[in-house]
Amino acid sequence: MKKLFNSPLTISKKELLDVSGTTDKKFRQFLYDLSLIAAQLEVARGYLASQLGVSAPQYNILMVIAQYQHLEGISLSEVAKHLHVSIAHITNEIKKLNQLGWVEIHVNPQDRRARLVKIHTRVEKQFIQLGNYQRSTNNSLFANLSKTEFQQMRRILTKLIDDFASTIEKL
């Protein structure tokens, strides 16, 4: 008689194993669910990006700029930090967004070697209109999340970002 194949454990951390400690089915389901959420979030962001006629990464950059810019703008390194990407990536995309008329680039008066970027005044109305789509989309995506759960998820995701980044560096 053939023996039933059992998938090997994909994690050994006891806190993440099922109650019996012999399976990781709940952990695996968590990963599947996390992957699905990430993919669906990207679909939503892709739709919002299409409303502006930009790529999803460019949309993310524009949203960070719109949210965090000061009167003079926001530094490219700050944008990169918020999105957890390289400044080289941000620099390349900012150049494209500037050519498309989405952003203005200025010399940083505090450091003449650095640049500040901000949303171009000609497109501010488009961001205001986009806010209606964003509100509706986000209200729907996160309809069942309480304030406490939201705060917990933010703390957990911050921890995971650090863990994921250090792990990816090792791969």
The ranges assigned to domains in the chain are 55-131
Could you report the per-residue pLDDT of 85-95, keeping only the tens digit for each? 999 999 999 99
Q: Give 57's contacts (C-beta < 8 A, 6+ positions apart).
A: 89, 93
CATH number for the domain whose boundaries are 55-131:
1.10.10.10
What is the spatial distance between Cα 39 and Cα 141, in angstroms, rounded to a whole number?
13
pLDDT (mean) for 4-26: 91
Most confident of the ranges 133-142, 144-153, 158-167: 144-153
β-bridge mates for residue 111, sequence order: 108
